Chains A and B, each alone.
Chain A
Amino acid sequence: MSDATFRPATEETPLARRILIGLAATGLAILVLAPLVAVFVEALRVGIGAALESLTHKDAWAAIKLTLTIAAISVPLNAIFGVAAAWFITKFDFRGKAFLITLIDLPFSVSPVVAGLCIVLTFGANSAIGAWLVGNGYPIVFAMPGIILATMFVTFPFVARELIPVMIEQGRAEEEAALTLGAGGWRVFWTVTLPNIRWALLYGVLLCNARAMGEFGAVAVVSGKIRGETATIPTTIEMLYQEYLSVAAFTLAAVLALLALVTLVLKTLLELRHADQLAATHRH
């Protein structure tokens, strides 16, 4: 008996299936894949030589170094926060836990531009704290610390959000057993907890890093976009684009797009290999 004559009542007709798959594939191709391809097409418009040459320009190079530095500082700090917050929230019982989780998630519902604005208002030269810090030679806004704070703000929930559901599911029994057997707190963490959460931690760090290197709105507000000093890769892309240096802009954009692709491949691998150790209910 062929498929056409026998069809389970819980499936759509083959025609309906084909139409739905077609719609999904076409929609994704136009909305998502086309912009990705366009980045590389525009970067290579006048050949790979011109593209590579634009990367060796000192402003482009300074931007790449700054972005790597920012990520190297803000991502580990957020990872430490994420682990500490997940430990605090899942290993202890206290009132106001739901409220604390809401506060940690808050940056996801705040516009990056508003986030940058908040940091300018707190640490800018016009504020009390900012004036004092500038007076002592530690400017925050229009300098590296401000960019780090802005980056940390927009990526704040990533690691904690990934770890909390995983650690709730794993419970406390293993840690309690280790404690009963006489292990100290740090030993329990390194030998019992960390091996259990390492893939989820890596997953959170991966997403946090992608966002940290690509953040534009919040950084644009706090950095002042000083060429060669406080211009990150995304803000340099904007400046180059507005000066009609299209190849240079799209080449830097292609660097970030490659980073995004690597992130997606690693993320997919983690989901395939370690699905059981990741937070299954939310995947973004």
Chain B
Amino acid sequence: MRPMLNRSPMPGLGLSMGITLTMLSLVVLIPIGALLLKGANYGLAGIWETVNRERVWSALFLSFRLSLIAALFNLVFGVLLAWVLVRYRFPGRRLLDAAVDLPFALPTAVAGISLTALYAPNGAFGALAAEIGWKIAYTQWGILIALIFVGLPFVARTVQPVIEEIEREVEEASATLGATRLHTIRHVILPMLLPAALTGFALALARAVGEYGSVIFIAGNIPLVTEIAPLLIIIQLEEFDYDSAAAIGIAMLLISFAMLLVINLIQVWSRRRIGHV
């Protein structure tokens, strides 16, 4: 068996390990542990009782359903973006490339009020939509727009380096063997991008499920209709109902871990199927 720790001539073992483990515990592990401990005291039955209310179910269902749709949109658009940014040369390419990172850099509260200003009935896009009777802000459409915004960079940024690595010989071989360009893209290129795209998809999904700042302004926050799960936690906290807040928090934590696990399994499967990636 491998020893717990190999002896190494490198200095600084005690110091770097000490700082790492102390800060990790203090900032991340103890707080998450406190949440789980609260849940353990409350018991599975207690958690279930809190979660099993119409308002909580509909908030959880809303958060996960819209996050899934937003992540699927970003999966497709992200691959398209990555392809265009890596393969084509055109004026303004660098600007577009930098713009992809904007949702990471722009604080969520800023994005939230700005999207609301754009999509409200008197906003630039909202007024256009209103002409055909389409209400975006303060409906589930508004939440979807906000979730697409925050998740936009993930797929593009995970897929871009993979496209850069694809060797042209593979595409040439495919073309030489008589495949049309569309055929090559579908059967040769896209399968190579799949694992990275799924990673980006999982990250976008996890981000969207927990998103709060960019959503609450545009959502309207009507219980059972446009109330997201993170907002429900805040409402419980403001009523000093820590047990319910913890129960919803644990439910969200468990569901997002479960989703990440499923996505990881899909990735393992797709890597094995394609073999070489």
Q: Report which A residues bind B (CB closer than 8 A).
A: 9-13, 16-17, 20-21, 23-25, 27-28, 30-36, 38-39, 42, 77, 80-81, 84-85, 87-89, 91-95, 100, 103-104, 106-115, 117-122, 124, 126-127, 149, 152-153, 156, 172, 175-176, 179, 184-185, 188-189, 207, 210, 213-217, 220-221, 233-235, 237-238, 241, 249-250, 253, 256-257, 260-261, 263-265, 267-268, 280-284
Q: Does B138 contact A (CB under 8 A)?
A: no
Chain A residues with CB below 8 A from B175, complex form: 9-10
Q: A9 and B172: CB pair below 8 A?
A: yes
Cα–Cα, bound, A114→B234 (Å): 9
Is there contact, CB below 8 Å, between B84 and A20? Answer: yes
Q: Which residues B94-152 have CB closer than 8 A to chain A?
A: 94, 96-111, 113-115, 117-118, 123-125, 145, 148-149, 152
B157 touches A283 (CB 8 A): yes
Q: Could you tell me if A34 and B107 are in contact, using CB atoms closer than 8 angstroms?
A: no
Task: Flag the segment in B21-29, B48-56, B266-274 that touches A.
Answer: B21-29
B109 with A238: CB separation less than 8 A = yes
The smallest C-beta distance from B33 to any residue of chain A, in angstroms, reads: 8
B30-59 interface (Cβ within 8 A of A): 30-32, 34-35, 38
Contacts of B104 in A (CB 8 A): 207, 210, 284
Across-interface contacts of B98 in A (CB, < 8 A): 264-265, 268
Asked if B206 is at the interface (CB within 8 A of a chain A CB), the reply is yes
Tell me the complex Cα distance, A264–B106, Å: 10
Name the one of B32, B160, B172, B230 contacting A113, with C-beta atoms under 8 angstroms. Answer: B230
Residues of B whose CB lies within 8 Å of any CB of A are 2-6, 8-13, 15-17, 19-20, 23-24, 27-32, 34-35, 38, 77, 80-81, 83-85, 88, 90, 92, 94, 96-111, 113-115, 117-118, 123-125, 145, 148-149, 152-154, 157-158, 160-161, 168, 171-172, 175-176, 181, 184, 203, 206-207, 209-213, 217, 230-231, 233-234, 237, 242, 245-246, 249, 252-253, 256-257, 260
Given known A-B contacts A9-B172, A84-B20, A188-B11, A35 and B118 have beta carbons under 8 A apart: yes
Determine if B217 and A241 form an interchain contact, defined as CB atoms under 8 angstroms apart: yes
Question: Once the chains bind, are A121 and B148 in contact (CB under 8 Å)?
Answer: no
Tell me whether A113 and B212 are in contact in the complex, defined as CB-CB below 8 angstroms, given that A92-B10, A260-B107, A282-B158 are known contacts. yes
* Residues A152 and B24 in contact, CB atoms below 8 Å apart: no
Q: Which residue of A lies closest to B214 (CB)?
A: A216
23 contacts between A and B (CB under 8 A): A9-B175, A9-B176, A21-B84, A23-B84, A34-B118, A77-B23, A84-B20, A85-B16, A91-B8, A91-B16, A103-B24, A104-B24, A113-B210, A114-B230, A153-B28, A175-B10, A176-B10, A217-B213, A234-B213, A237-B110, A253-B113, A256-B110, A264-B105
Contact A38–B107 (Cβ < 8 Å): no
Expressed in whole angstroms, the Cα–Cα distance for A81 and B92 within the complex equals 38
Contacting pair B5 A260 (CB below 8 A): no
Q: Is the CB of B20 within 8 A of A85?
A: yes
Given A42-B114, A282-B158 in contact, is the A91-B10 Cβ separation under 8 Å? Answer: yes
CB <8 Å contact, A32 and B213: no
Instruction: Kindly list 9 other residue pairs between chains A and B, CB separation below 8 angstroms, not including A156-B24, A215-B107.
Output: A27-B77, A32-B149, A88-B17, A92-B10, A93-B5, A106-B28, A109-B257, A117-B249, A175-B10
Contact of A221 among B149, B176, B234 (CB under 8 A): B234
| B17 contact set on A, CB distance < 8 A | 88, 92
Interface pair B106/A84, CB less than 8 Å apart: no
List of 9 A-B pairs having minimum Cβ-Cβ separation, nearest first = A111-B210, A214-B107, A185-B11, A9-B175, A118-B31, A216-B213, A84-B19, A217-B212, A88-B16
What are the residues of chain B within 8 A of A21 when measuring CB–CB?
84, 88, 90
Q: How far is the CB of A211 from chain B (nearest CB, A)?
A: 8
List residues of chain A with CB within 8 A of the CB of B209.
111
- Evaluate contact between A32 and B103: CB separation under 8 angstroms: yes
Contact of A217 among B19, B108, B154, B184 (CB under 8 A): B108
CB–CB B80/A23 < 8 A:
yes
Q: Which residues of B contact A39 (CB under 8 A)?
A: 110, 113-114
A34 and B128 alpha carbons, distance in the complex (Å) = 14
Q: Determine whether the beta carbon of A179 is less than 8 Å from that of B31.
A: no
Shortest Cβ distance from A27 into B: residue? B77
B246 and A111 form a contact (CB under 8 A): no
Contacts of A127 in B (CB 8 A): 34
CA distance A215 to B214 in the complex (A): 11
Q: Inside 8 A of A25's CB, which chain B residues have their CB?
A: 92, 96
The one of A153, A175, A238, A263 that contacts B27, using a Cβ cutoff of 8 Å: A153
Cross-chain contact of A153 among B31, B100, B249 (Cβ < 8 A): B31
Which residues in B have their C-beta under 8 angstroms from that of A81?
19-20, 23-24
Please indicate the chain A residues that have their CB under 8 angstroms from the CB of B12 in the complex: 87, 91, 185, 189
